[in-house]
Amino acid sequence: MTTATAPIPAAPVWARRAAHAIALCAVPSGLWRIAMASGVYVGYSDQVLRDVFDIPGWGVAYVVGLSVFTELAALFPLLLVSDRWRPLRPRALAALAWTASGILVLVTLWQFVVAFTVESRTYLSSGTAQTVWGFTFAPLFAIPVLMTAVAWSYAKRHRARTRP
């Protein structure tokens, strides 16, 4: 005897928008890092770039690699709202999404602590540079909330499918 499973409902519009917003939230900080790696003045002196970030040098590869990795990771939620991509094990993917959401919450809390304690002694040379830095990195703090919403939507849709 086989049991028929209900078709997977489509992701709600709000979940699709949240997944796209996650991908877009990572763009400003990535562009800021790439500008820093390519020699555009972002508020750091040449000595700070050399001594702290190793730019020019291996620091360029690290900063650009971090930007690429961040953007690729920010594209993951798009898989959770896609109608075309059907994983073989949706429960495992739901667990991965919840894990990613939890890690993002912890990292964000840690970044708040770092921003208000350690980084209060910033290497940025001016208030304008600090303001630009703040505006480019502020969208990253929205990602944990958006990721939690997308993970919840994905888990809810796939849980509804497996119920009798």
Mean pLDDT value across residues 112-134: 73
What confidence tens digit (pLDDT) does each residue in 30-86 have? Answer: 999 999 899 888 888 888 888 888 888 898 999 899 899 989 989 989 988 887 777
> 131: which 2 tokens?
């303001």
Better-predicted residue by pLDDT, 91 or 62: 62
pLDDT computed for residue 2 by the predictor = 47
Give CA separation, 88 vs 43, 112, 122, 124, 133, in Å. Answer: 48, 37, 47, 48, 41
Q: Which of 68 and 113 is assigned the larger pLDDT? A: 68
pLDDT value at 125 more than 90: no
Widest Cα–Cα separation across the chain: 72
Q: Is the pLDDT of residue 3 over 80?
A: no
Mean pLDDT over 108-122 rounds to: 70
- Give pLDDT tens digits for 130-158: 888 888 888 988 999 999 999 898 888 87
User: Which positions ≥6 away from 80 have C-beta within 8 Å?
Assistant: 11, 15, 19, 93, 97, 150, 151, 153, 154
- The per-residue pLDDT for 122 is 66
What pLDDT score was predicted for residue 13? 93
